[in-house]
């Protein structure tokens, strides 16, 4: 079989291996017995229905085998004495799963407590419930979940939450739909203007928008600016 993507010289070797007969311009050995140890190191897809297998042989394969043995020996020394590597890894994975569940429960409890604390600090301006706070939760998904929970629990809500995620500031604005229509508020516009204080930008829907920035020192100013946007509308 000749491959059109390959380059061949005037004279091309014909290689027979079992029932396979190939044209090949590459380097070959006189017999397969000289290959010695053969270790597959990777397998991948290079096109539809075509797989590529990469392997090493000879001295290189022996070095790979020694390195794998060294790694297994090192891992074994880190495991609990008297248990095999496979059993030890299974125990570690089980413990990791249990710890993840405990962490998730702690996070749910923390979110629940934060929700209660924020409700206790509600400000009221002309029947509008206002919450503008900096929180310690950093996960954007959890912040969004918290915002929607508060929106469902509190009527006429104007919510601004500031947070840090790995040192980078973020801003979340949630506005009840009734306020969007009655007071002409727009969370997307408010968050874009406020995000200038943290050297960032963002956007979203009229009732929910988020922004990220680079300057954590401006987070308090961003929260205050978003709060002032509501007060300006009310005056």
Under DSSP, is residue 20 helix (H, G, I), strand (E, B) or coil?
A: strand
- Residue in 193, 204, 177 with CA at minimum distance from that of residue 227: 193
Q: What domains are defined for the chain?
A: 13-77 (no CATH), 121-234 (3.10.310.40)
Torsion of CA 195, 196, 199, 205, to 10 degrees: 30
Distances (CA, A) of 81 to 70, 90, 92, 155, 212: 18, 15, 14, 60, 49
pLDDT tens per residue, range 11-61: 777 877 788 887 776 666 777 788 888 899 999 998 888 888 899 988 899
pLDDT tens per residue, range 126-147: 889 999 999 998 899 999 999 9
Token pair of 164 as six digits: 């840090």
The β-bridge partners of 206 are none
Instruction: For residue 227, give the DSSP letter.
Output: H
Query: Is residue 196 scored above 60 in pLDDT?
Result: yes
Task: Return the residue matching tokens 């919510």.
Answer: 159
- Cα gap 171→188, rounded to integer Å: 11
Whole-prediction pTM: 0.65
Token pair of 156 as six digits: 């006429």
| The pLDDT value given to residue 84 | 82
């Amino acid at each position: 079989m000749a491959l059109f993507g390959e380059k061949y010289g005037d004279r091309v070797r014909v290689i027979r291996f079992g029932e396979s007969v190939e044209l090949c311009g590459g380097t070959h050995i006189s017999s397969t017995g000289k290959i010695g140890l053969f270790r597959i190191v990777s397998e991948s897809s290079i096109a539809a229905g075509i797989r590529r297998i990469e392997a090493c042989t000879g001295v290189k394969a022996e070095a790979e085998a020694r390195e794998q043995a060294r790694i297994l020996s090192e891992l074994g020394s880190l495991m609990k004495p008297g248990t095999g590597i496979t059993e030890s890894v299974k125990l570690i994975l089980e413990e990791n799963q249990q710890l993840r569940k405990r962490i998730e429960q702690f996070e749910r409890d923390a979110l629940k407590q934060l929700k209660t604390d924020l409700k206790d600090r509600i400000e009221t301006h002309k029947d509008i419930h206002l919450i503008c706070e900096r929180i310690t939760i950093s996960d954007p998904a959890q912040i969004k979940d918290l915002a929607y929970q508060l929106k469902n629990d509190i009527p006429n809500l104007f919510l601004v939450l500031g947070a840090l995620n790995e040192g980078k500031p973020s801003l979340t604005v949630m506005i009840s739909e009734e306020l969007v229509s009655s007071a002409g508020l727009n969370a997307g516009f408010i968050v874009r203007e406020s995000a200038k204080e943290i050297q960032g930008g963002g956007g979203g829907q009229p009732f929910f928008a988020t922004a990220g920035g680079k300057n954590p020192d401006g987070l308090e100013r961003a929260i205050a600016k978003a709060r002032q946007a509501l007060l300006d509308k009310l005056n």
